[in-house]
Amino acid sequence: MLASAVLALALAAEADPPSVRALRVDGRMRLDGRLDDPAWAAAEPASGFRQREPREGAPATEDTEVRLLFDSETLFVGVRARDREPEAVISRLLLRDRVIQPGFGADFEYGSDDLVAILLDPFEDHRNGFVFAANPNGAEFEALVTDESLALNVDWRAVWRVAACRTSDGWSAEFAIPFASLRYPRGGDEGHRWGLNVLRLIRRRSEEALWSGWSKAEGGLHRVSQAGHLLGLHDLPRSRLNLEVKPYGLGGLSRELQDDGSTPRETEAALGLDAKWELRPGMVLDATVNPDFAQVEVDDQVVNMTRFDLFLPEKRDFFLENAGIFDLGYREVGNPAPPFLLFFSRRIGISEDEGEIPVLGGFRLSGRAGRQTVGVLGLATDAAFEEPRTAFTAVRVKRDVGSRGFLGAMLTDRRSRSDAETDGAVDFSLWPARGLNVSGFAAWTSAAGGRGADRAWRLGAEYRSRRVWAQANQLEIGPDAETGMGFVARTDVRQTNGFFVWIARPSLLGLRSVEPFVGGTWITRTTGERQDGNAFGGAFVNWISGEQLVVFGVKGTTWLDEEFALADRIPVPTGPYDVGLLTAELQTSPKRPLSCSLQVQSGRQWGGAVTQSRVEAAVAAGPHLSVGPTWTLSAADLPEGSFTAHVVGVRATWAFSTRLVARAYVQYNSLERKWITNLRLNFIHRPGSDLFVVFNDDEGEEGAPGRLVSRGLVVKGTWLIRF
């Protein structure tokens, strides 16, 4: 009873967001992470952090104080993270963008180190925000939150600085964020407020504590609507042009296999320009001329064990910033390939079969206008691989409904001299009750490429609370619903699916939660013919130490009416096939110097035995060196044939400092007899400006293991100029 009363009081306290006032300062601030400048002592502290994990609502086990200062150019955030065991603070990373990473069973997850993260919502729209984070080594991380999504845009880049240091009573950090790197309204009086939240992770305890928004069901750093208030900011700077220009120069040598078997040496030289202009507060125009993506990491080698196209993630910077604005469709839980997306940026400038298509240039207008979120994208690609010069356009608008919902619409247009396709959709996300979300879309695709006009639609509901997570969806994609600029996993389907998760939090065996789940999927053609039907069940098990385990089984039937080749090798004829698969996934805590994940899936499918296993490790050998080996085994023994494929990869990173980093990624695919090597050196010679040295090597083909396919060395420099 007492514990319940304490929790009830804590929940009531959280309903009234906390606030803190920033203090204006004059004179130069010294950024060394120590917080010993007298101005810090004069600033009002924000404290009273509470746990989100592992004990919801309980006071944080260690004290944290946050103070904010600002001058005519910069917002300063000082964090004092006290710890009664300062020697136990974990800080292994020096490389930027690693303190928060893609997660296991979630869209993001905190990494191996202690950290503090700052969320800023300058427009206080309760939906979108900027995230800045650092560990005790001063390793930097920044990201964007769009519509409170767990899918942080970690590829956003901003010019800012942070310094951190270990102290006798824990550690501390000083963030210096130029106002020029943020977007904020013109309000100049002290009455205007920003949204603010601060998170502290104590890694050895897997403790996640927040200043505001700490409930498990409704909180988290990404929940911008649950942030507290930052007061006192006034007379903020406005540059006359609000313009950033980043020219680049590039030179390189390359060889590429020709049809006649030769690999002639070629030289490359290029100039290009990226520009960013804030047209009005919160509305930004990005433009690019002759963009280059030489510094982008190569795609992972994958053996396709499905009958559908692979979905490979976007890695190019221009397309990643503000990517969430253009997201319209359905991303299915547990399925790496979305069933339907109206817009998929890899359709621009990439031929999945041939390679890169030159992008001539383009623009992106994105941001907030009142209660609207707006995105307009226009790009043109040159003729290549027998494809004509093509223009791509996407227009996206979302109107806020209530505190969290929206109504939206989108148009995409792909146009060349020989072909044109215009597709459109409307979508919505509404919150009729706390924890209950109802969402959906309706899309239409125009007649193109010999297809007729068609449609796709979805209606879904999702409910989340402290104990329950449930979801149900109805999806239909017409037989000709291919998009000109999107991704469609399969057409001519009518799908019903859902799942139910019960979240238990037993206080034994060091468990954080045990989450049994059940669900199922039923898929037919739009004319009613059966395609797939299955039921699944299993459990997530999470320990306070950070270890995670998932075990589940799938039982069902596939009625295959079109034959395909598994991994492009084994023919699978039409007919009914029983499906019986068992999957287990284990991940050790990232707080350990050696952490790993293991996934094993095995059972009956396509009339035979199939197995797919993956082992991935992360070795932190001090703050400078990290190594991540991976090994994937894919095997099938079917009536029409069998194969065993190994894909081995090693990522290695040496961080000389937070501004000079060398990376290597080497892969071997035994099925293709292919070696792929990607070496990259990145030197940030001044904030926002980079020097890249990149070497790529692709060797081996089936039947010719040692043949050179392509090889190239590129040196690229960028320089940021602000007006």
Q: Which domains, ranges and CATH numbers included, belong to the chain?
A: 2-231 (2.60.40.1190)
Report the amino acid identity of residue 21.
R
Task: Specify the pLDDT at position 4.
Answer: 45
Of 632, 633, 614, 635, the C-alpha closest to 570 is 635
* Surface-to-core class of residue 202, CB atoms within 10 Å of its CB (0-12 exposed, 13-18 middle, 19+ buried): buried
pLDDT at 446: 87
Q: Is 146:324 a contact under the CB 8 Å cutoff?
A: yes
Torsion of Cα atoms, 341 then 342 then 344 then 347, to 10°: 130
Phi, psi of 318 (to 5 degrees): -60, -35
- Paired strand residues for 564: 572
DSSP strand pairing (50-53 vs 355-356)? unpaired
Q: How many CB atoms are located within 10 Å of the residue 315 CB?
A: 15
Q: Tell me which residue of 323, 366, 394, 334 sits closest to 149, measured CA to CA.
A: 323
DSSP H stretches of helix in 286-385: 317-320
Indicate the pairing of strand 265-280 with strand 243-256: antiparallel
Whole-number pLDDT of residue 353? 72
What pLDDT score does 466 carry? 86
Q: CB of 141 within 8 A of CB of 98? A: yes
Q: Are 96 and 115 in contact (CB under 8 A)?
A: no
Is residue 422 within 8 A of residue 483, CB to CB? The reply is no
What length is written for the chain? 723
Coil, helix or strand at residue 308: coil
- Taking the C-alpha atoms of residue 211 and residue 198, their distance in angstroms, rounded to an integer, is 6
Q: What is the mean pLDDT of each run of 10 residues along the chain (723 residues)?
A: 43 69 90 93 95 93 97 95 96 87 65 94 90 95 87 82 95 95 72 90 94 89 94 83 91 90 91 91 90 87 89 82 86 85 92 84 90 94 90 96 92 92 96 93 84 90 93 96 92 96 90 95 96 96 92 96 92 96 93 91 96 93 89 96 96 92 96 94 91 95 84 96 87
> How far is residue 632 CA from its own chain's centroid?
22
Beta strand ranges found along 226-318 (DSSP E):
228-231, 243-256, 265-280, 283-289
Q: What is the pLDDT of residue 109?
A: 83
Query: With 0-12 CB in 10 A as exposed, 13-18 as middle and 19+ as buried, what is 74?
Result: buried
Taking CA atoms, 649 is separated from 300, 543, 678, 712, in Å, by 9, 29, 11, 20
Q: Are 136 and 91 in contact (CB under 8 A)?
A: yes
Q: Token pair for residue 565? A: 């080749």
Query: What's this model's pTM, rounded to 2 decimal places?
Result: 0.84
* 619 three-class SS: strand
218: left (phi over 0), alpha (psi -120 to 50) or beta: alpha
Predicted local confidence at residue 449, as pLDDT? 64
Closest CA to 325 of 381, 225, 409: 409
For residues 421 and 393, the answer to whether their CB atoms sit within 8 Å is: no
State both tokens at 311: 């979905």
